Structure 1
Amino acid sequence: MTLDLRVIEICAGAGGQALGLERAGFEHELAVELDHNAAATLSHNRPEWKVAIGDVANPEVWNPADYAPSHGRQSIDLLAGGVPCPPFSIAGKQLGANDERDLFAWAVEQVSVLQPRALLLENVRGLSMPRFAGYRQHVLDRLREFGYSAEWRLLHASDFGVPQLRPRFVLVALKSEDFAYFHWPTPLGNVPTVGETLLPLMSRNKWRGAKAWARQANSIAPTIVGGSKKHGGADLGPTRAKRAWAALGVNGLGIADAPPAREDTFDVGPKLTCEMVARLQGWDDDEFWWEFTGRKTSVYRQIGNAFPPPVAHAIGKQIVDALAHRGHVRAVDPERDSDPIYRVLRDATDFLTARQIVNRSAVKLDDPEIDRRISILGSDFEIVKEQRSTGLAYRLLGFRGFVGQDDHIRHDYLRTKTSKVS
C-alpha cells in the first residue's frame, strides 16, 4: 500500500510509536534517536527508513530547517515523539523546565520551523499534575501563536487492548481548521489479562504449571518500567511494582532468558522473558510484529521505555481522520486546564500584588498560598518579586526551559554525561 502521509519522529526509541503510526497510515521521512541500540532496532525492522543517531537538538544530527516547506517542498504531515520523561516523572524531582534533559518545549518550538500539519507528543502522567499547569499552558500558548489548536489528554494503555496500566499524557495539535475534526480515540472495552496474554509463551516449553499460573495472573500488569543506563540490569521496577507482579505470580527481580521448562517450580512465580514483556507492551505476532536487537538488558530497556504500538495506532488514526476532515466538528476550550494564577501573570504588563492576582483570577486563596503557588511557577518561569508597602508584588518574565539556546546548561550536561543519558 502506498502511503502519502509523512511523519518525522523524534526521540523515536525502538519503534513502539513508529510502528503504531505506520499502521495508522504514516510513512517515516526521518526517525531521530539518541540510543544506538534502539536506533539499531529501528533500522533492523525498517532498513528503508532514514534513522539519525544522536542528540535530537543537535543540528549536526538533523536540522529541522532542512525539512521545512520551501521551494515546492510541502509540509510534513506529522511531527511526533516521546521526549524524555525524567523532568516530569513522579518518581523523580519534577524539575520540569529546570531539568537539563527537558526537550518538550524545544520540540514544540520546532513546529514553527517545520510547520507540520499535526503534532503528537507523549510523556509520563506526572506532566498532567497541577505542578505543571503553567508549563502546559505555555505550550498551548506557543502553539496558538504558531496557528495551531491543541489539547492534552491522559490515556491509559489498558483502554486500547494493552494488558497493563501504563498511563501516558498526550498532546495533539493541528492547524485550527483541522483540529475541529480531531476526536480522542474511544476506549475499546475489555482488555486481556496477563495470564491470557502470556499463556502461549509460558506454555512454549510445555511447563506443567502454565494454566494454573495463568489463572492466578488474572488482571492487567502494573506499568512496565524500562529504567535507564544509570541503573543496573533489567528488572520489573521498584519494590511496590515487584509486589504487584508477585500478586500475579511473576518474579520481578530480573528477566529470564527462556520460558519455564516442563517441571519447573517457583516460590513466587517465573520471571518474564523480553518477548513476554513486549507482548505486555502491545507487540504481537500479527499486526504489531517487531524484532528487537542487542543484549538482553538493552532489549528490555528498549521495550520497557516504549510507547505501546496499539495506543499510537489509535491516536494516529484519529489524526488521519482529522486531516481528512472526517466526522463532526467540535468546540475546544484552549484554556480549560490552565492555571488561573499563571494566566493573570502572563497577561499582566506590570507587577501585581497577591490581592490583585486574587481579584483578577477569582481564586480564593490567602497571600501565603498565592506566594507558594507562584514559587511553584518559578520552577519553570523567571519570576521577579518586589516588596511593596502593601506586600509582595510579582511579575512573570521568561520561560526557563531549553528551546534551542546555544548557551543552555543542557549542552554541558550532554557533553559530560552522554553515556548515562537514555
Structure 2
Amino acid sequence: MKSIELFAGAGGLAMGMARAGFHHSAVVEWDADACQTIRENLAHYADRGQEMLLFQGDARQFNYSLHSDDVDVISGGPPCQPFSMGGKHQGDLDARDMFPVAVDSVRRVMPKAFIFENVKGLLRQSFSSYFEYILLQLTYPQLSKRAKETWIDHLGRLECAHTQGKQKPVYKVVFRLLNAANYGVPQKRERVVIVGFRADLGVNWAFPDATHSEDELLVSKWVTGEYWERHEVSKRRRPTTPEKVHRKLARLATGDLHQTYRPWRTVRDAISDLPDPERRGKSEKSNHILNPGARAYEGHTGSPLDEPAKTLKAGVHGVPGGENMLARPDGTVRYFTVREAARIQTFPDSYVFHGSWSETMRQLGNAVPVDLAEAVSSSVHRALSLQT
C-alpha cells in the first residue's frame, strides 16, 4: 500500500508507517536539517523496498496530482506549536497552522484513509470549535471553504450539512488521546491521533488496544521486585516505596495483578546499556555526546530514571526545561544525549540525526515515537488489507 507523508520531520511517523507495510510515494518536509536526517537514513526505508521521493519544501507547493491515482493513505503531524501547551496558543491565528493543508491534501487525493497526529493541547476548551471544524472538514472534504468565507461561517455550513443528513459523510473520522507509554514507548507522551477511512469502504476499525500499563510497572517494582532484579539494583540501593504507591497497590491487590499488559518501560529500560556520556572517551554510538550545563529549577526537574520520561519537547531557543534532562536518584541532573533521546522516542541506534545538539533535540521533540506510529499504522494497514 502506498502513502504520502506530510510534515515528516525527522521521520518517526514515516518509519512507523514503513514498518507497518506502507510504501512512501512521497515524504514532504520543509526543514533542511530534518530533510538531511531523512536522507542520511534512507537505508532504513530502502531495506523495506522503498525508493521514496523526498520533497524538501512547503507542503502547500507539493504537486499531489502526480500521486493522486495510487495513494492509499495520507499521514502526517501538522506543526503543533499553534496548539502546544508551551506555545503562544494562537491556534488558527498562527501562521504555522497547517491543518488547512492537511485537509486540502485529503480533498485532492481522496485516499482510502488518513492518519494525523498532534499535541494534547488541541483538545483544550479554547480550541474546541476549531477542533470540531477540523473533524468536520475531514468528514466532508468536498465542502470546501468558499472565497471570503470565514472559518466560523464555514463551520456553520458544515454543521448544517452534518445535522441535516443530506450530505453523506465522505470519511468516517475518529480520534483518541493516546499515551505513548501505553504502547511500549519509554515516555509519557500524550498525543491526539485522528484517523479516517473513506466511508464507501465500510471499514470496521477501532484504535489498537494498549499493550503496557503503569499498574504492571508498579507490580514489577514493589510486589515482585522483578524490575530491580533485572537491572541488578541491590535491595540496599532500591528506593523506599512511596506512600501513594502503597495506597494504589492496596487497591490493585483486590483485583487481578496478572493482566495481559506488560509494564511501562522506563528511562532506565531505554538507556541503561549505553555508556555514561560523562566519562571520558568517545562513544561508539552515534549522537551519544554529553551537552553540559543542565540545571534543575521550579517546574523543570528532569525525568526520573525509573519512570517513563516526561514528554520530550522542542523549542525555538534550544531545549526548554527539564523534560529533556535525566534526573538521577541522587538528585543530580544532566541533559539527555541525542542518542538517549532517540531511544526514548524509539528510533533505532543506527538512525543518525543531522544538525547541532539543539537542532537534533528539536527534531526529536517534534517527532512521533516510532513504536506508537507503528502500532496505529499497522492497525490501519490490517483494516485496509481486509478490503482488498
Per the shorter chain, which TM-score range? 0.5 to 0.7
Deviations 1:361-407 (A, max 9, x none): xxxxxxxxxxxxxxxxxxxxxxxxxxxxxxxxxxxxxxxxxxxxxxx
Aligned partner letter, 1:173 = G
State the distance in 2 between where 1:310 and 1:197 align.
13
Deviation at 1:27, TM superposition (A): 0.8
Query: Does residue 133 of structure 1 match 2:128?
Result: yes
Where do residues 233-312 of structure 1 align in structure 2 (5 Å cutoff)? 233=318, 235=319, 237-238=320-321, 241=323, 245=325, 248-249=327-328, 268-285=332-349, 289-312=350-373
Is 1:174–2:197 an aligned residue pair? yes
* The one of 75, 80, 88 aligned to 1:80: 75
Q: Which has the larger radius of gyration?
A: 1
Instruction: Note the alpha carbon deviations across 1:99-131, whole angstroms, 9 max, x for none.
Output: 111011221122111111111111110111222
Residue 200 of structure 1 aligns to a residue in which SS? Answer: coil
- Residue identity in the other structure for 1:311: L
- Offset of 1:203 from its aligned partner? 4.9
Whether 2:34 is the aligned partner of 1:38: answer yes
Amino acid at match of 1:238: G
- Residues 325 and 137 of structure 1: CA distance in aligned 2, closer, same or farther (over 3 Å): farther
Classify 1:196/1:140 alpha carbon distance in 2 versus 1 (closer, same or farther; 3 Å).
Answer: closer
Measured at CA, do residues 269 and 98 of structure 1 come closer, stay the same or move farther in structure 2, by a change above 3 Å? closer
Distance 1:268 1:206, change over 3 A: closer
Q: Work out whether 1:221 is the aligned partner of 2:309.
A: yes
Q: Which residue of 1 aligns with 2:52?
A: 49
Task: State the TM-score, normalizing by the size of structure 2.
Answer: 0.67
Tell me if structure 2 keeps the 8 A contact 1:181–1:325.
Answer: no
Report the CA distance between 1:271 and its aligned residue.
Answer: 3.1
Deviation at 1:224, TM superposition (A): 0.5
Question: Distance in 1 between the 2:12 and 2:105 partners?
Answer: 22
Which runs of 5 or more structure 1 residues have no equivalent in the other structure?
A: 208-215, 251-265, 327-422
Q: Deviations over 1:270-304 (max 9, x none)?
A: 4321101101111234xxx5222233222222222
Match of 1:95 among 90, 109, 112: 90
Q: Which residue of 1 aligns with 2:231?
A: none
Is 1:162 paired with 2:157?
Answer: no
Equivalent pair of 2:186/2:267 in contact (CA under 8 Å) = yes
**In the aligned structure 1, how far is the partner of 2:202 from the partner of 2:90?**
31
CA distance in 1, matches of 2:104, 2:334: 46
CA distance in 1, matches of 2:138, 2:336: 42
Please say if residues 59 and 101 of structure 2, whose CA atoms lie closer than 8 Å, have aligned partners that are also in contact. no
Structure 2 gaps, min length 5: 44-50, 142-169, 213-262, 281-303
CA distance in 2 between counterparts of 1:292 and 1:151 reads: 33
Deviates more, 1:98-107 or 1:39-48: 39-48
Residue 179 to residue 12, structure 1, CA distance change in 2 (3 Å)? farther
Q: TM-score, normalised by structure 1?
A: 0.62
Match of 2:273 in 1: 200
Given residue 268 of structure 2, which amino acid in structure 1 is its aligned partner? G
Supply the distance in 2 between the matched residues of 1:26 and 1:85 (Cα, whole angstroms). Answer: 24
In 1, Cα distance between the equivalents of 2:279 and 2:359?
28
In 2: Cα distance, 1:205 partner to 1:98 partner = 44
Residue 418 of structure 1 is matched in structure 2 by none
Give the one of 159, 175, 185 matched to 2:208.
Answer: 185
Q: Report if aligned partners of 1:20, 1:316 keep a CA contact under 8 Å in 2.
A: yes
- AA partner of residue 272 (structure 1): F
What residue number does 1:364 align with? none
Structure 2 CA distance for partners of 1:221 and 1:119, relative to 1, 3 Å: same
Separation of aligned partners in 2, 1:38 and 1:90 = 23
